[in-house]
Amino acid sequence: MPTSVGHSLLGYIWYLVFKKNRRLIKNWKTILFYLFIANAPDLDLIPGIFIGHANRFHHGITHTLGFSIFVALILCLVPKFRKKKNFIIFFLLYFTHVIADFLCADTTSPFGVMLFWPFTKKYFISFYTIFLDIHKTTLRSLFDLHNFKAIIIEVLIFLPIIVVLKLKLFLKKQGREKEDIS
């Protein structure tokens, strides 16, 4: 799995892509909400941490196509989110986490994610891995050089996309302001 930094950057990318959507709560609250959903599949690490084996319940059904649809549907039950567009946003936020994990190195069996569950219980992992796995055996190992390298790779991949999207939004705003003046 990529680190929470990588998943959060990906969540922020979706925030910028859908920034026009004013139906959701605004600004930093929306950003935090997006980042939470983008990281939510990894909540499956918590029960394992309690028994001293973080990976014990990791990469189960929480990292699947079926569960991504389920989460998006559940969130859309909240009256203010009941829009088709919000379903798409929630689904993309959640499922692209699963895709990112599919594109990540994995050194513990079962390798990868049950990408297409409930259609198949088969685990899938990309032939070409983009992201590094995380060392998470002890709390101290979370801060080792390998994990630092993993974060750097994630930033190098996602930051250029964020810069382009920010620039696009900036130019759009400038264009709108010019239109207002003329």
Binding site for Zn ion (CB under 5 A): 1, 41-42, 101
Residue pointed to by tokens 């991949």: 157
**C-alpha span between 21 and 13 (Å, rounded):** 14
**Min CB(6)–Zn ion separation in Å:** 10
> Which of 81/136 has CB closer to Zn ion?
136
**C-alpha span between 9 and 15 (Å, rounded):** 10
Instruction: Say which amino acid occupies 2.
Output: P
> Which of 43/74 has CB closer to Zn ion?
43
> Which of 1/132 has CB closer to Zn ion?
1
The burial of 41, by beta-carbon neighbours within 10 Å (0-12 exposed, 13-18 middle, 19 or more buried), is given as buried
> Which of 81/102 has CB closer to Zn ion?
102
> Which of 6/24 has CB closer to Zn ion?
6
**C-alpha span between 36 and 16 (Å, rounded):** 15
**Min CB(63)–Zn ion separation in Å:** 6
**Min CB(97)–Zn ion separation in Å:** 6
Residue 59 sits at the vertex; the CA angle it makes with 57 and 65, to the nearest 5 degrees, is: 130
**Min CB(94)–Zn ion separation in Å:** 10
**Min CB(46)–Zn ion separation in Å:** 12
**C-alpha span between 6 and 12 (Å, rounded):** 10
Which residues lie across from 131 on neighbouring strands?
Answer: 104
